[in-house]
Structure formats: structure tokens, C-alpha cells
Structure 1
Amino acid sequence: MFMEQDSSRLRRFLISGIIFLLIAGMIMANSVAFQLFDSMLQGFFTTGGQTEFKTMLMKLISTLGSPKMAIVYVVIIGFLLWGFKYKIPALWSIATLGSGDIVAFLVKNIVKRARPVQHLVGDDGFSFPSGHVFGMFIIAAILFLVVLPNIKSGLWRLVCQILLIIYLILLAVSRVYLFAHYPSDVIGAMLLAYAWVQVAEWLYVWFAPILKRWKFVANSEV
């Protein structure tokens, strides 16, 4: 089975979840110290000014990592997994992103943080957490957990893992560089996504054996 019982899963969920709640709480309380922290980090990523090439590159990275693209990616992943008889992992992948997007949407509308004043007109909605980073973190987690383990070559598997991590970092930087989010928005998105993945893994371990009894997925690998 792709995911097994793991006694440390609850600890990882609690640690990431508590840190996320602390950040959300400081944002909702309009903590001056936290605003200063955000401003300092944002200045670090935008130091040197915005050149035409950097802006074009960051916009491309951001577009490829948009929430809509994350949906496209997970549908493709689910389709391929289903075709290769990984039906339960396919359903799990789509459900993990879909339910996670609902959680992120609810958090956005509870915290109700306005975007940075310099943000582009095309960036609408609330700022915390970053939907781009949240969605692509979930996609990366799905690839790590149920796709990359099928690559037999350890070297190629490692290369894919490194590329995914680099892209996630670049996506987070692009959202700050384009003033679409504060640094704490992308940090919070990663923490929330990580915590949600722990929940999704636990649900997979619990439900996968039950789903195996259902006729339409009975021949699925788990």
C-alpha cells in the first residue's frame, strides 16, 4: 500500500496545524511585529527592482501554478492512475485536492486578509493563505506519494522530487515578487497544505481497504 500506518503522522499534523493557527491568529489580530516581519521578507524578495524578464518569468511560473491549473493537473493524474489500475489512489488524489481547496477557501473567508496594495488587478479575493501555493503543494504531495514511487529508477525519482521542490519554491517566490501575497501567505499555505495531507494520508489508510470491497474498484492497486 502506498501509505501505511504512521505513529508520527498525528505529531506532524499538530505541529504544522498549530504553527498555521498561530500565524492566522497574528494576522487577524493585526500584529505590528508580524507586519514588520512580512515587510522585511517582502523587501528581501523584491530587492533590486522588477525587470521585464523577471516579471515575465514570475508571471509564467505563477500561471502554471494557479488553482485552475492544479485542478487540470489532478484530473490528468487521476485519469492516468485510473488507467493503470490505481483506481483508489486516483479517487484519493482528486478528493484530496478538492476537499483541500474547500478548506483553504473557508480559511480565506474567515481570516479575510486584504492583498498587498501593489497587487495586480487580476489577483482578486483574499490573500491568506495563497491558493496557488496551497494547490501546487497538494499536487506535489500527490506526486510524491502515489506517482513517483512507481518510477523504478532511484536516480530519476530523486531528480523528479528535486524539480518539484524547486518549482514550489519558485512559485512561492513568484507570488511574493508579484505582490500577489505577503510572505506569510505562502508560508501559511504550505503549513495548511502539509497538515491537510496528513489528514488525507490517514483517511487513505483507513478507507482504502474498505473501498477494495467495492466492485468497481476491487481490482485497484492500493
Structure 2
Amino acid sequence: MEAGGNKVLQRKTMYLYSGMLFLFSIIGLNVIIQTDGLKKIDQVGSQVIQNNPSSQLTAIYENISAMSSPTTNLILATIIFLMLFFMNNKVKAIFFFGSFLVSGAVIPYIIKHLVRRERPIHQLVSETGYSFPSGHVASAVALYVLILWLVFQGSKRSNLKNVSVVLIVGWIIIVMLARVYLGAHYLSDVTASLLLCSGLTGMFIYYSKPLEEIIGRRILSLIEK
């Protein structure tokens, strides 16, 4: 019964990640076609989030944006990679860093330059580059989902796991709000990033065991030669 239950749970988990990627593709298609429905949703989203702006709130969201930038998240991911690597957990270190790079940087970057969506006109801070999907949200989601994976693997304390989930989900929502408030992104940009990178990172975690076996057999053997 337990084995059968695990298989059902695994199948549902895969459906969840696949569903996230499917929803991302739907949003992406609407962005490319520039449908009126998506434009309306983005317009309403910006109006609600940017309602009653103030210099104090702008400064707070600017700091949050800087703390969640792709560069900052890359630095944090590198620190975690080095900690794992030199704590004699090389396989997990390589899996962690590789999953972060692919899910949170490489694939979002490729999509961004394929779609080439222009950023919103009215910005509270000057931003360059393309808008869809959000690089800040993408790198944050990939990084913190992988951190959650490490916490769940390394700790048996349910309180720590629950607190970690609440803090990380809360932080990602704040980052999404900050990017829309500052006028750097549309609501659809940050929502699509959340779906894309949750789905991609979840897929990596789902296949973590076979991927770690490949890393252990092939990649580490090349490094140690």
C-alpha cells in the first residue's frame, strides 16, 4: 500500500509541475499574440499594485529589488555551492548549482530574448532589457525552491520546514510585487516567471536521484582526474 501511495503522490507531483509549465506556455502565447485579455489583466494589476505610491515605499521596493537581483541570487547560490562542495557533498553541490543555473538563469534568458517583450513605459526606476519573463523572480524562485529542498532533506524538524516555506513563499510574493510596483514588469511577467521556474526546478528535484547518480559517475570522475 505504501509503495502504491508513493507512486500516486509522485504522479500527482509530476502533474503539478507539468501544469505549471503548461500555464506558463499559455501566458507566453498570450504575450506573443498580445491579446486584449492579457493587456487588461496587466493594466488592472499595475493599477492595483501601484496604487498610492510614495517615496518611502519606492525606496523599500528598490532595496528589495536589489536584494533579489539575478546577480545577488547568483552570489548566494555560489556560496551555497561552495559550502556543499567543501563539506564533502560534491554531488549535491553540483546538482544544486546546475539546477539553479538552468532553471533560474539560462532558460529564462533564452525565452526573454526569443519573446523580446518591451518593458512597461511608466517606470519608477530605469530598467533596460526585455520584460518577459522576470529575471529577478526567475532566479529567486529557482534559488529558494532549491534551498527548501535542502532544508527538507537535511532536517526532520517539521517546525523548521513550515517556517521555511512561509518565509520563502512570502519573500517571493514580495519580490513579485516589488517588480510590478517599480514598473519594471507587468503582472503577467512575474506570474509567468513563478510558474516557469517552479515547474522547471520542481522537475529537477523530481529527477534528483538519477541526476545525482549521473553526476557522481561521470562529472565527478572527470573533475577528480
Q: Please, what TM-score do these two structures have when normalized by structure 2?
A: 0.87
Offset at 1:46? 1.0
Greater fraction helix: 2
Cα distance per residue 1:144-178 (max 9 Å; x no partner) = 11235324533233222211111111000000000
Matched, 1:193 2:184: no
Offset at 1:85? 2.7
The runs of at least 4 aligned residues of structure 1 exceeding 3 Å deviation read: 210-217
Give secondary structure in 2 for the equivalent of 1:212. Answer: helix
Query: 2:17 & 2:161 partners in 1: Cα distance?
Result: 26
Percent of residue pairs identical: 22
Give secondary structure in 2 for the equivalent of 1:162. Answer: helix
Cα distance per residue 1:54-112 (max 9 Å; x no partner) = 01110011100000011001001111122333221211111012122111011111111
Which residue matches 1:160?
164
Matched, 1:66 2:69: yes
Matched, 1:56 2:59: yes
Give the alignment of 1:177-216 within 5 angstroms: 177-213=181-217, 216=220
Which residue matches 1:75?
78
Q: 1:43 to 1:63 in 2, by over 3 A?
A: same
Q: 1:213 to 1:151 in 2, by over 3 A?
A: same
**Contact 2:117 2:132 survives alignment (8 Å):** yes
CA RMSD of aligned residues (A): 2.1
| Structure 1 range deviating more: 175-184 or 39-48 | 39-48
Which residue matches 1:125?
129
Q: 1:203 to 1:122 in 2, by over 3 A?
A: farther
**Contact 1:38 1:184 survives alignment (8 Å):** yes
Cα distance per residue 1:23-66 (max 9 Å; x no partner) = 11111111112101110111111112x21110111001110000
**Contact 1:62 1:175 survives alignment (8 Å):** yes
Cα distance per residue 1:158-213 (max 9 Å; x no partner) = 22221111111100000000000000000000011012113312442222224334
Give the alignment of 1:126-141 within 5 angstroms: 126-141=130-145
**Contact 1:61 1:171 survives alignment (8 Å):** yes
State which of 79, 90, 93 in structure 2 corresponds to 1:87.
Answer: 90
**More relative contact order, 1 or 2 (CA 8 Å, 6+ apart):** 1
Q: 1:148 to 1:123 in 2, by over 3 A?
A: farther
1:54 partner amino acid: L
Unaligned regions of 5+ residues in structure 1, if any? 218-222
How many positions carry a matched residue from both structures?
213
**Contact 2:112 2:131 survives alignment (8 Å):** yes
Give the alignment of 1:146-157 within 5 angstroms: 146-157=150-161
Q: Please, what TM-score do these two structures have when normalized by structure 1?
A: 0.88
